[in-house]
Amino acid sequence: MNYRKLGNTDIEVSTICLGTMTWGEQNNQDEGFEQMDYALDQGVNFWDTAEIYSVPPKKETFGHTEIIIGNWFRKTKKRNKIILASKVGGPGRNYLRNGENSFVGKNLREALNGSLKRLQTDYIDLYQLHWPERNVNSFGKLGYHHNDDEKEWNNFEEILENLKKFIEEGKIRYIGISNETPWGATKFLKISEEKKLPRMMSIQNPYNLLNRTYEIGLAEISIRDKIGLLAYSPLASGYLSGKYRNNQLPKNSRIERDGDFWTRYDKPNTKKAVDSYYEISKKYNLNFAQMSLKFCEIQKFVTSVIIGATTMEQLKTDVESVNVKLNDEINKEINNVQKIYPNPCP
């Protein structure tokens, strides 16, 4: 396994992060336990979850993934071996604290204490804001409509001050952002420095061969300010494993189960781009999924690549991607495909 520093801390996290959002929906608790056992044995010490998991998020399964992880901690007594990341959800879901702001005051305290209880732990190593409170283009949304009447609670300094309280209480070690923009990231970092408040240590945003938009603005921030990317959706909901090629629709896959939810990668040039990348993997005798993951891992602005598997076979394949080598010729061919089909699924 490979490891990198989390932000400017001394914590070393595995460059493969165990994603957990299918547990409680596509995977049951026993399968989640098996994945956790295997991942830890392979040196994966970094796990990511969120209060709204499992996915697709709904009231009936809210918090189920954290419960499964907490039960594993209780059974194995191995909490101290894991760098655990979770997320607090923001406004937009009525069942989530009545859809109110969740990043300050009683809402944040309720969210954090709820996660700690479900996870059966006293602290979370990396507590992330799942998506911004303000209007931004998250989850593949394009076009930008600015709201001049944004609520007063959309206050970066107040958010950091509230998070500081929980760091001082020992409930959080470090903090991070997710689905954030270059403006939001720099705003948080600037206020942290000016006001001597906790700084964001990571950004969890999408990054894969079908969506390299992170490179346009956020990559420079990640490198210069040591706030590395935790790359989610590195296989583009399975498209970059090749399993949907030639109009295949595997039973119990995300697209087969919840196709209406996973529309982000159903775009006009998806199939053409996927086929082009697949041909590169075939030419160099590489597993397509492993090539796709390794491309993400080797980027200098990436701290860790979040994998999400529903079968043990998939998990083993994904974890073993750390041993793959991509030479200059392979990377050149990958970049040539990007030129032909630039970010078909932003």
Torsion of CA 75, 76, 81, 86, to 10 degrees: -20
Q: Kindly report the backbone phi and psi dihedral angles of residue 159, in degrees, each rounded to the nearest multiple of 5, phi listed first.
A: -60, -50
Distance CA 67, CA 279 (A): 41
Would residue 278 show up in a list of annotated catalytic residues for this protein? no
Nearest to 46 by CA among 129, 163, 125: 125
Gyration radius (Cα) of the chain, Å: 19
**Active-site pick, 3, 53, 144, 239:** 53
Per the CB < 8 A criterion, the answer to whether 305 and 231 are in contact is yes
Distance CA 299, CA 203 (A): 14
The conformation of residue 199, written as its DSSP 8-state character, comes to P
Q: Kindly report the backbone phi and psi dihedral angles of residue 230, in degrees, each rounded to the nearest multiple of 5, phi listed first.
A: -100, 100
Coil/strand/helix, residue 246? helix
Location of structure tokens 């830890």: 40
Per the CB < 8 A criterion, the answer to whether 37 and 59 are in contact is no
- Please give the positions annotated as active site: 53
